[in-house]
Structure formats: C-alpha cells, structure tokens
Amino acid sequence: MNLNEGPGPGRHDFASGSCEICGENEAVITCSRCGRRVCGLDFDWGRGVCLACRDTSCYICGDYSIALCALCGRPVCRRHSSRVGLKRVCEDCLSKSRLGALGP
C-alpha cells in the first residue's frame, strides 16, 4: 500500500519576489539598466533606474560615472567633470568655484 506523498514539499516560488536592494518590500519594477527587481522606494522614477544605478550614474546625463565630485560628492561622468589637481570636480561645482572666491 503506497501512500502518495502528493505534490511534494511546497516550493516557494514567489512570482514577484522581494526588492533586490532592500530585500524587504515587494519588487514592483525591473530596472532596465541593471535588471534588478526593486521596490518603488528603491527606484528613481524620474530617471527610470534603480537607486543602485543612480548612485553610479552621472547625475547630469545618466551615463556611467567615473568618479565622485570632490566638492558635492555626486557621481559624474568624464564629460561632465574636470580634473582639478588630483581631484575631479563636476561642471556645476566648477562653474560655482570659478565665479566664487577662488583666488589666483
């Protein structure tokens, strides 16, 4: 007499899954840049990328950033930053510092 064990141990295949950034909230959208599934709180709806991508993207154009601005700390790409000595400064800070009290 065989006892059927049924469909076996239940598998927990969540159709939606949880956010790959915070791991707490339910993922609602897939980032088109990195493919992460993230919740609404970890997605920058204005730029259309997840926060992880936003943090590594030029804040001006959204391209892959190569450095953080030494003054404001925002990520910038090669085109939107310039080397100042050993540091890299974004266009925004550069123009401000030129207009400001940057002495000779």
Q: Which of residues 23-42 bind Zn ion (CB under 5 A)?
A: 25, 31, 33-34, 36, 39, 42
The C-alpha angle 52, 56, 59, rounded to 5 degrees, equals 110
Smaller CB separation from Zn ion, 4 or 16: 16
Q: Is 55 exposed, middle or buried (0-12, 13-18, 19+ CB in 10 A)?
A: middle
According to the binding rule CB under 5 A, does residue 19 interact with Zn ion?
yes
Type of residue numbered 58:
C
- Which residues are near Zn ion by CB under 5 A? 19, 21-22, 25, 31, 33-34, 36, 39, 42, 50, 53, 58, 60-61, 63, 69, 71-72, 77, 80, 90, 93
